[in-house]
């Protein structure tokens, strides 16, 4: 049966501003690959990320360059060899998962060997800002059980850590420095997180310099994000981190993400399942990994002024599995 592909760029406004150590954003620009075979339609969404050298135009071009192979029937296994990890492969890989599910009538999670998908509690992100502003944002999110606190400012992070804990005495807190801490302040920041009862610190130092973490006393477990992409990056991180953040835009899709989760667990890493700021279509495939993760961070749609329809059902911070109309 003939297969066709379309590629589209879509923009979704962010509710307010999304601020991390590297800068601020007011919109999410996503790329969607749509595959059609007869009446079956499969979709995959990716979020190009400048930190990894990606642009929207470059990702669209990379997907378009695969058009002859994809329309000739390229499958997921061959895709892993044909493209490197990253956002472009993610969009195609997830579209192929969705297409295969629609063609066969077998849900994607069943095809992945998962008997049932269940709701998961996602972290909710608090953007980097002045300590008092972040504390107010935390108070407004007081009903959310897990909060991810963006840190990594040029100064004031210890005050931010203390302020958000005071504002949310009962919440599970995750610190995400986005590579923003240097050697001079690392120990002080980790100690402050430990004193405030943070459960995890994500990517405290730049990926290029994280050998600094080898052998150091860690009062709070550390999770790799920018330092980890796919299975090939895991071995170097043993002894540096306690957990890894698996994002489909880094792994290049669900296929590699599932394999990476198994490989990470075999090496003793805990798992976080994370996301870029995208719509429910980008979150849906990641739900297949949620049950095996210690922390789920699939709050992208909650940060948008509007999500796509149909989207995932969020009841507070409880995110439900996708409907077939959305994905899988």
Residues identified as active-site: 150, 247
What are the tokens at 252?
């290049």
Site of tokens 């400048």: 50
Q: What number of other Cβ atoms are within 10 A of residue 33's Cβ? A: 28
> Would you say 143 is a known binding-site residue?
no
CB 229 within 8 A of CB 249: no
> Would you say the C-alpha torsion 150, 27, 310, 90 has a positive or negative sign?
negative
The beta strands (E) that lie in the chain are given as 3-20, 23-37, 40-46, 120-121, 124-126, 146-150, 172-176, 200-202, 222-224, 243-246, 270-273, 295-296, 314-315, 318-319
CB 189 within 8 A of CB 162: no
The candidate with the shortest Cα–Cα distance to 111, out of 123, 125, 101, is 101
| 224-246: b (≥16 Cβ within 10 Å) or e | bbbbbbbbebbeebeebbbbbbb
Q: Please tell me the distance from the alpha carbon of residue 41 to that of residue 98, in angstroms, as a whole number.
A: 8
> Would you say 202 is a known binding-site residue?
yes
Q: What number of other Cβ atoms are within 10 A of residue 309's Cβ? A: 9
Environment class of 298 (CB within 10 Å of its CB; exposed 0-12, middle 13-18, buried 19+): buried
> Would you say 230 is a known binding-site residue?
no
What are the tokens at 132?
């008092």
Q: Please tell me the distance from the alpha carbon of residue 203 to that of residue 323, in angstroms, as a whole number.
A: 33
Binding residues for Mg(2+), by number, are 176, 202, 225
């Amino acid at each position: 049966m003939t297969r066709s592909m379309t590629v589209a760029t879509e923009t979704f406004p962010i509710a307010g501003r999304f601020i991390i150590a590297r800068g601020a954003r007011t919109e999410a620009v996503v790329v969607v690959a749509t595959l059609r075979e007869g009446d079956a339609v499969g979709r995959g969404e990716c979020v190009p990320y400048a930190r990894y050298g990606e642009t929207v135009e470059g990702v669209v071009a990379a997907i378009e360059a695969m058009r002859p192979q994809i329309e000739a029937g390229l499958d997921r296994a061959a895709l892993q060899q044909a493209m490197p990890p990253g956002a472009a492969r993610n969009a195609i890989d997830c579209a192929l998962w969705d297409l295969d599910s629609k063609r066969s009538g077998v849900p994607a999670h069943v095809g992945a060997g998962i008997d049932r998908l269940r709701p998961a509690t996602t972290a909710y992100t608090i953007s980097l800002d002045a300590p008092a502003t972040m504390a107010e944002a935390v108070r407004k999110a007081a009903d959310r059980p897990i909060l991810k606190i963006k840190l990594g400012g040029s100064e004031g992070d210890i005050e931010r850590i203390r302020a958000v804990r005071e504002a949310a005495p009962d919440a599970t807190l995750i610190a995400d420095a986005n590579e923003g801490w240097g050697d001079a302040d690392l120990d002080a920041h980790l100690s402050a997180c430990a004193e405030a009862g943070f459960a995890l610190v994500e990517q405290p130092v730049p990926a290029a310099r994280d050998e600094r973490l080898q052998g150091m006393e860690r009062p709070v477990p550390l999770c790799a994000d920018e330092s980890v992409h796919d299975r090939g990056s895991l071995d170097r991180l043993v002894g540096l981190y306690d957990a890894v953040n698996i994002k489909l835009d880094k792994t290049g899709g669900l296929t590699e993400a599932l394999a990476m989760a198994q490989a990470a667990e075999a090496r003793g890493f805990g798992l976080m399942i994370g996301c870029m700021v995208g719509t429910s279509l980008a979150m849906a495939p990641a739900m297949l990994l949620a049950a095996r993760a210690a922390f789920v961070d699939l709050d992208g749609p909650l940060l948008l002024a509007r999500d796509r329809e149909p989207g995932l059902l969020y009841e507070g911070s409880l995110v439900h599995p996708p409907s077939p109309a959305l994905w899988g």
